[in-house]
Amino acid sequence: MKLSVNIDHVATLREQRKEGFPSPVFAAFLAIQAGADGITAHLREDRRHTQDEDIMLLRQTVRRLNLEMAAYPEIIDFALKVLPDQITLVPEKREELTTEGGLAVAGNEDKFTPLVKRFKQKGILTSFFIEPDTDEIKAAKQCGGDIVEFHTGKYATAFLNKDTAAAEEELERLFSAFETAHEVGLRVHIGHGLTLENIKPFKGNALIEEASIGHFLICDAVLEGMQTAVYKMREEIL
Ligand code: PXP
């Protein structure tokens, strides 16, 4: 399973103060150095974390760039200029803290089919971020999608709440969706709420090509780096 590291929350920290640091692009560089296979960044309509300039710099520095975005005309135009390797289409609500659910592809084939075609003409792969649902998988295929990223958020929440029955049930839905997606010829990615602990059931599953992980990695990086940061400041002021 490959790992795409989502660096949005480094940009969240920067935007909190708007003083230019920490740099999500430098975080991406460090992630790649540590073995990440690619970088994901979500350009939101309200630009609350990642900015256009970050995406342009990432394009110049990262070999496998996945741009997460909602299908807004302005963002589509930007994406077609920047040319990421992959676009992951997600739903987006202004007030949400993070992407809350999967995209409704079924019923919106007329909207997504020409869009996927435009991306394909520019050599960009299209991934649909969806719930583990057969109708959504079929719709993603019908629209010409290359990849489906299954939303693991419900499973992650059940795991966090120690609701074993709900976690098991959601895992079964996910595993069955992986099979269906594979059968119709879609590549399988997973993402949302994944951690060192809850990723274990997915380990070794040959159907999963990639996991996209952000929040947990950025949180872990903050805690793992705390001692070094304090030692460095102590050294300086001693
Ligand atoms: N995949 C998609 C499509 C997402 O929207 C997100 C959240 O930005 C992630 C993966 C990463 O989720 P998390 O930050 O919970 O690891």
* Tens-place pLDDT, residues 118-128: 999 999 999 99
- Cis before residue 114, ω within 30 degrees of 0? no
What does pLDDT average to over the chain? 97
Whole-model pTM over 0.85: yes
Task: Report phi then psi at 163, rounded to 5.
Answer: -90, 85
Q: How far is the CA of 234 from the centre of ligand 1 (A)?
A: 35
Tell me what pLDDT residue 101 has: 87
Q: Which residue type is seen at 208?
A: I
pLDDT digits (tens, 9 = 90+) for 136-181: 999 999 999 999 999 999 999 999 999 999 999 999 999 999 999 9
Could you confirm whether 49 is annotated as catalytic?
A: no
The verdict on the CB of residue 100 being under 6 Å from ligand 1 is: no
Domains of the chain: 2-237 (3.20.20.70)
Query: Average pLDDT of 3-32?
Result: 97
Q: Which of 136, 170, 192, 210 is catalytic?
A: 192
Percent share of the chain, pLDDT over 70 = 100
The verdict on the CB of residue 194 being under 6 Å from ligand 1 is: yes
Nearest CA to ligand 1 atom 6: 192
Cα separation, 31 vs 8, whole angstroms = 13
* β-pair partners for 5: 39, 213
CA 47 to chain centre: 16
3-state class (DSSP) for residue 83 = coil
Locate 10 and state its tokens: 């480094």
Query: Per-residue pLDDT for 94 more than 90?
Result: no
Ligand 1 atom closest to 129 (CA): 3
Q: How confident is the model at residue 98 (pLDDT cuts 50, 70, 90)?
A: confident
Q: How confident is the model at residue 108 (pLDDT cuts 50, 70, 90)?
A: very high
Q: Which of 68, 92, 136, 170 is catalytic?
A: 68
pLDDT digits (tens, 9 = 90+) for 6-17: 999 999 999 999
Task: Report phi then psi at 51, rounded to 5.
Answer: -110, 165
Cα separation, 97 vs 226, whole angstroms = 25
Query: Per-residue pLDDT for 96 more than 80?
Result: no
Determine how β-strand 2-6 pairs with β-strand 38-42. Answer: parallel
Q: How confident is the model at residue 95 (pLDDT cuts 50, 70, 90)?
A: confident
Could you confirm whether 68 is annotated as catalytic?
A: yes
Query: Per-residue pLDDT for 97 more than 90?
Result: no
Spell out the alpha helix ranges (H) of 3-93.
8-17, 24-33, 52-61, 73-82
pLDDT digits (tens, 9 = 90+) for 171-215: 999 999 999 999 999 999 999 999 999 999 999 999 999 999 999
Cα separation, 181 vs 147, whole angstroms = 9
Query: Average pLDDT of 105-130?
Result: 98
Q: What share of the chain is helix, strand, coil (3-state, %, to 5)?
A: 50, 15, 35
